């Protein structure tokens, strides 16, 4: 797969107003995902008070995976629907699904209701693939990388605000005197943090309905004016020779699915997504573990603090550093460097327990790990999004992005279940290195 290079011509200005609304959709997805990570282990403990600590990881993994099982089933449907009915209707439906799922999850009375809510959360929301499709249709080859970088930057915002709000607002009746007498928050200790994304989702739903143009209409109008966006759907040579050749027949879905550019981009996206969510699901388990078991014995508020500390750095890293790195290394090489760094980080993380008893070092080390993790994820996803956008012709871009979301949903089902179960198994069997928590 060749690196993508920009034509030497001025960048087209970004379409800021529609980009603003799709960025909010992307932010909401990241925010709600990271919101629940700090308190998922505590939610499992609330549902199963007598559950041994060594088994919390099993149940946490299944609860995290339920959302991605829903995505696995729903993503191809939304990709096809967006190609047939437009991007905006599917985005609106996804926002309604998010609002419904958040409500069901916040008021879960037992573990199985929470799992059902997480499943609905994934099945009723296919917006991430549609957002990438929408952005590729309102940009051209000069500004698509910048636009997708701005969209990917919302991951940084979500990773900043989500864990901090989720960690600090979870179990408020137990932690804050102000809510000690609240019967509602005592019975439903996770309603308060879920209220925040609920309000954001309702606001975004109204904004999309009133202000977001349909991207296919924008493309059609631009085509009539002779200014249709030329989102990077081909390489540099193809762009130069397109006017000299007769219009090619639209490729079939089978040809798209089997093309090297598509399946390579999809596999990279899927693998990175699975490892990202897998590591993200066990890192809180690692931090709440007792020091004697190789952990740091933190509560939900401190976990939220650790996980939110990387946010400010991401807000600078994504717009200032990633574009320069892509120009210096190219998208493919940058992804390779990111993957190597990420693998090294995952291997070294368990050894951080060596400083768990050192008061001045424990929090800086944990913050460094999470900061490195989010930086690698943001950089990797930014490059993959561009590679994926360049692999698909515009008429089937929704289908291809739906396929990509289906594949990444499959790996994100396996990620939390595999990582969390391995972690729980290693704790339960108390074997020596490397079959202990290092596994």
Q: Which of the pair, 237 or 106, is modelled with greater confidence?
A: 106
Q: What's the confidence (pLDDT) of residue 227?
A: 52
3-state secondary structure of 55: helix
Q: What's the confidence (pLDDT) of residue 279?
A: 86
Instruction: Name the band, by pLDDT with cuts 50, 70 and 90, for residue 175.
Output: confident
Q: What's the confidence (pLDDT) of residue 9?
A: 62
CATH number at residue 71: 1.20.1250.20
Q: What's the confidence (pLDDT) of residue 234?
A: 38
Q: Is the pLDDT of residue 436 over 70?
A: no
Instruction: Name the band, by pLDDT with cuts 50, 70 and 90, for residue 157.
Output: confident
φ/ψ of 214, rounded to 5, equals -75, 125
Q: Tell me if 415 is assigned to some domain.
A: yes
Task: Report how far residue 291's alpha carbon sits from residue 406's, in angstroms, rounded to the nearest whole number.
Answer: 39
**335-345 pLDDT per residue, tens:** 999 999 999 99
In eight-state DSSP terms, residue 317 is I
Q: Which of the pair, 248 or 19, is modelled with greater confidence?
A: 19
Task: Report how far residue 187's alpha carbon sits from residue 428's, in angstroms, rounded to the nearest whole number.
Answer: 31
Q: Tell me if 248 is assigned to some domain.
A: no
Q: What's the confidence (pLDDT) of residue 221?
A: 53
Mean pLDDT of 8-36: 87
Q: Tell me if 298 is assigned to some domain.
A: yes
Q: Is the pLDDT of residue 2 over 50?
A: no
**390-404 pLDDT per residue, tens:** 777 776 777 778 888
Instruction: Name the band, by pLDDT with cuts 50, 70 and 90, for residue 434.
Output: low
Q: Which two tokens stand for residue 384?
A: 């993959």
Q: Tell me if 34 is assigned to some domain.
A: yes
3-state secondary structure of 20: helix
**66-78 pLDDT per residue, tens:** 888 898 898 888 8
**200-211 pLDDT per residue, tens:** 999 999 999 999
Instruction: Name the band, by pLDDT with cuts 50, 70 and 90, for residue 235.
Output: very low
3-state secondary structure of 398: helix
Number of domain units in the chain: 1
Q: Which residues contact 278 (CB under 8 A, 6 or more apart)?
A: 414, 415, 416, 418, 419, 420
**For residue 283, what are the domain limits?**
16-221+254-429
Q: Tell me if 404 is assigned to some domain.
A: yes
Are 197 and 32 within 8 A, CB to CB? yes
Are 390 and 1 within 8 A, CB to CB? no
Q: Is the pLDDT of residue 253 over 70?
A: no
Give the DSSP per-residue string, 321-348: IHHHHHHHH-HHHHHHHHHHHHHHHHHH
Q: What's the confidence (pLDDT) of residue 251?
A: 58
Mean pLDDT of 270-282: 85
Task: Report how far residue 170's alpha carbon sits from residue 193's, in angstroms, rounded to the nearest whole number.
Answer: 6
- Within 10 angstroms of residue 289's Cβ, the number of other Cβ atoms is 24
Instruction: Name the band, by pLDDT with cuts 50, 70 and 90, for residue 102.
Output: very high
Q: Is the pLDDT of residue 96 over 70?
A: yes
Q: Is the pLDDT of residue 252 over 70?
A: no
Are 214 and 88 within 8 A, CB to CB? yes
Mean pLDDT of 16-23: 94
**Which alpha helices (H) appear in 138-182, and where do they start and end?**
144-169, 172-175
Q: Tell me if 292 is assigned to some domain.
A: yes
Task: Report how far residue 353's alpha carbon sits from residue 293's, in angstroms, rounded to the nearest whole number.
Answer: 9
Q: What's the confidence (pLDDT) of residue 155?
A: 72
Average of per-residue pLDDT values in the chain = 81
Q: What's the confidence (pLDDT) of residue 238?
A: 36
Q: Tell me if 144 is assigned to some domain.
A: yes
């Amino acid at each position: 797969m060749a690196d993508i290079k920009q034509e030497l011509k001025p960048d087209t200005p970004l379409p800021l107003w529609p980009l603003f609304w799709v960025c909010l959709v992307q932010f909401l997805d990241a925010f709600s995902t990271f919101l629940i990570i700090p308190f998922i282990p505590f939610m499992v403990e609330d549902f199963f008070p007598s559950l041994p600590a060594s088994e919390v990881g099993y149940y946490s993994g299944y609860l995290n995976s339920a959302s991605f099982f829903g995505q696995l089933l729903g993503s191809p449907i939304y990709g096809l629907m967006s190609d047939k009915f437009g991007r905006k209707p599917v985005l609106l439906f996804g926002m309604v699904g998010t609002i419904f799922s958040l409500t069901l999850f916040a008021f879960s009375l037992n573990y199985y209701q929470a799992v059902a809510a997480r499943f609905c959360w994934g099945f009723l929301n296919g917006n991430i693939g549609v957002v990438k499709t929408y952005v590729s249709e309102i940009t051209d080859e000069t500004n698509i990388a910048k636009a997708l970088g701005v969209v990917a930057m919302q991951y940084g915002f979500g990773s900043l605000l989500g864990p901090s709000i989720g960690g600090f607002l979870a179990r408020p009746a137990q932690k804050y005197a102000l809510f000690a007498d609240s019967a509602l928050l005592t019975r439903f200790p996770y309603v308060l943090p879920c209220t925040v994304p609920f309000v954001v989702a309702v606001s975004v739903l109204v904004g999309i309905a009133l202000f977001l143009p349909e991207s296919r209409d924008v493309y059609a109008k631009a085509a009539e004016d002779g200014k249709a966006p030329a989102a990077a759907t081909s390489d540099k040579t193809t762009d130069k020779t397109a006017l000299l050749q007769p219009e090619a027949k639209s490729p079939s879905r089978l040809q798209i699915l089997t093309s090297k550019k598509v399946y390579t981009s999809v596999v990279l996206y899927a693998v990175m997504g699975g490892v990202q969510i897998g590591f993200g699901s066990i890192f809180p388990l690692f931090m709440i573990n007792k020091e004697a078991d190789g952990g740091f014995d933190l509560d939900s508020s401190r976990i939220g603090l650790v996980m939110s500390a990387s946010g400010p750095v991401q807000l600078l890293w994504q717009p200032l550093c990633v574009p320069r790195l892509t120009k210096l290394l190219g998208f493919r090489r940058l992804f390779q460097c990111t993957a190597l760094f990420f693998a090294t980080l995952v291997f070294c993380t368990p050894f951080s327990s060596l400083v768990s008893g050192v008061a001045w070092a424990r929090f800086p080390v944990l913050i460094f790990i999470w900061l490195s993790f989010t930086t690698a994820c943001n950089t990797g996803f930014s490059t993959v999004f561009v590679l994926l956008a360049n692999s698909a012709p515009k008429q089937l871009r929704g289908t291809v992005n739906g396929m990509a979301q289906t594949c990444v949903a499959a790996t994100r089902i396996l990620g939390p279940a595999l990582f969390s179960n391995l972690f729980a198994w290693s704790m339960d069997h108390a074997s020596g290195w490397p079959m202990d928590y290092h596994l």
